[in-house]
A and B are shown apart, each in its own frame.
Chain A
Amino acid sequence: MIGVVFRHELGRLARSAQSWVVAAGFAGLAGYLLLGQLERWIAEQDAIRLQDHAPGLAGFLGVNLLAPLAVVIGLLAPLYAMRAFADEFRERTWSLWQSSPVPLMALVGGKLAAVVTAMLLPIGIAIALVLMLRPFTPLDAGVVASSALGLLLCAAATASAGLYCSSLVRQPLAAAAGALALVLWLWLLGSLGAQAPWARALAQLSPGQHLSGFFQGYPRSADVLYFLLFTATFYVLTVIRLDALRHAGDE
């Protein structure tokens, strides 16, 4: 059943002009940033050569291009997820799902998988931009692969938060605004002063604190676990919220 939900939701995303416009905008931004970083790489060659463990181009672009793009992807995922449930409530199609023998876990899982699959387009664009340089210079495949994993996990986590916000309201834009505010707030937790223990603990909730390893080519299992837990938390919250709709009687 999860496959039926997945295909339906992915089809809706593919038919939506918004998905393609967002991806095109992202491609333009990523290309612009890539050119800037390549110029910087060439200009700073002498300084880079003098560093201990000087990074290769893949390592340089991972930290200076893909890490900033992870923030953008984290903010894009809620835009892809905003219609998932809010549109069902607004267009009065929710009764089809409520009266069908579809478990809520499969429904939310199918929609989440579809949004993450749609996010493969911007993630693929970011990675393809880096791989385009392969004919001209050697690239560390391990760094590129771990960066792709980081982008994917970040997209899944914020898409999950976006789905939850989408289940709370009838207006997709309100869902997107709520999810963006939530993701930004979590991200800013990472910039709290790290003096007090409570501040350090709160900062660990920020996705930004768990991404750097992926772009340096050294992903930690704790960071992978963080993103999986983040995704699972909002997945479960969405299931609980949708189940509560039957009791509350509104949508």
Chain B
Amino acid sequence: MDTRGPSATPLLAASALTRHLPGRRGKARAPAVDNLSLTLHAGDVLGLLGLNGAGKSTTLRLLSGCLTPHAGSVHIAGHHLQDEPLAARAALGYLADTPALYDDLRVSDQLTLAARLRRVPRDKIGAAVSSAIEACALTEVARRRCGTLSKGYRQRVGIAQAIVHEPRVLLLDEPSSGLDPQQLDDMRQLVRRLGEQRCVVLSSHLLGEVQACCTRIAVLHRGALRIDRSLQAADDGGESLAALFARLVSDEVSDESGDGEAA
């Protein structure tokens, strides 16, 4: 139950968000994200779960402003993403499914660029970069060029880039991709820590990862939000998360085989 009361302004509010896939001429366009609504406050860490192709990355791209919704609206820290895009984007950090890194830049230079782009005051850029490097355990590679890093390190630089300006809303698309078990554990602790003062949305298709670091869970299936509840409530509910996930997978398989037979 939400105890913040009606006056608390949500950090992230998405209302009836809809985005269609590009359709062929004359054919109906399937929704990639269908009428999705979310409200998150400081302290919420939302795990966006779903099978491959469920619409997780599209949802995060819509929430980050990289994609314009066909219907619905997004507010970031009280700013409408379409009407006040600069103010809204200044309050969010986004890690895309592939970290946006320049191979020829050193890690520290990459983070400095991100800090400048996110309008960190000039006299605070050095401290912000050092803090992000420390938070993501990048000290030993800070002088290395991004193009020479392993996938796990690239992912961590991507996360550092998303948090360098201390955003109030953090969107992480598959942040655990390419991390080894130790790095995975560190990343989960980092997400939990970041979520204490801001809201975090992370996407994953791994139930264990979401259970390890999130306070809320949302299950997406074919673009529609099937479940949005606190992890505590999900654990206490009649159908376990694992069972729900298994049911979604079996629905998917039976639908596909049905399509195949019909064809």
Contact = CB atoms under 8 A, between A and B. Distances in A.
B100 A92 contact: yes
B86 interface: yes
B94 A99 contact: yes
Contact of B100 (A94, A101, A246, A250): A94
A91 B103 contact: yes
A95 B94 contact: yes
Given A92-B96, A92-B98, A101 B66 contact: no
Contacts of A96: 100, 114, 117, 161
A4 interface: yes
A135 interface: no
B119 interface: yes
Interface string A210-249: 0000000000000000000000000000000000001111
A99 B89 contact: yes
A49 interface: no
B234 interface: no
A100 to B, nearest CB: 4
A100 B66 CA distance: 10
Contacts of B87: 101
Interface string B8-31: 000000000001001000000000
Contacts of A247: 68
A96 B101 CA distance: 8
B62 to A, nearest CB: 10
B71 interface: no
A134 interface: no
A246 B65 contact: yes
Interface residues of A, number: 23
B67 interface: yes
A101 B89 contact: yes
Contacts of B104: 12, 15
Contact of A249 (B22, B96, B118): B22
Most chain B CB neighbours (cut-off 10 Å) among A92, A95, A248:
A95
B174 to A, nearest CB: 13
A97 B85 CA distance: 13
Interface in A92-127: 92-103
A40 interface: no
A202 to B, nearest CB: 34
B92 interface: yes
B22 A93 contact: no
Contacts of A91: 102-103
A98 B67 CA distance: 9
Given A99-B89, A101-B87, A246 B96 contact: no
B137 interface: no
Nearest to A95: B96
A2 to B, nearest CB: 12
B228 to A, nearest CB: 24
A93 B100 contact: yes
Given A4-B116, A8-B113, A103-B86, A98 B65 contact: yes
Interface in A60-119: 91-103
B118 A101 contact: yes
B230 interface: no
A15 to B, nearest CB: 6
A12 B101 CA distance: 13
A101 B67 contact: no
A92 to B, nearest CB: 4
Contacts of A101: 85-87, 89-90, 117-119
Most chain A CB neighbours (cut-off 10 Å) among B66, B90, B104, B119:
B66
Interface in B38-67: 61, 64-67
Given A100-B117, A101-B118, A247-B68, A93 B101 contact: yes
Given A92-B100, A96-B117, A100-B117, 10 more contacts: A4-B113, A4-B116, A93-B102, A95-B66, A96-B161, A98-B66, A100-B89, A101-B86, A101-B117, A249-B19
10 contacts: A8-B113, A12-B102, A93-B102, A95-B96, A96-B100, A98-B65, A99-B65, A99-B94, A246-B67, A250-B22
**Chain A to chain B: the 6 pairs with minimum beta-carbon distance, closest first:** A96-B100, A95-B96, A99-B94, A100-B117, A101-B86, A101-B90
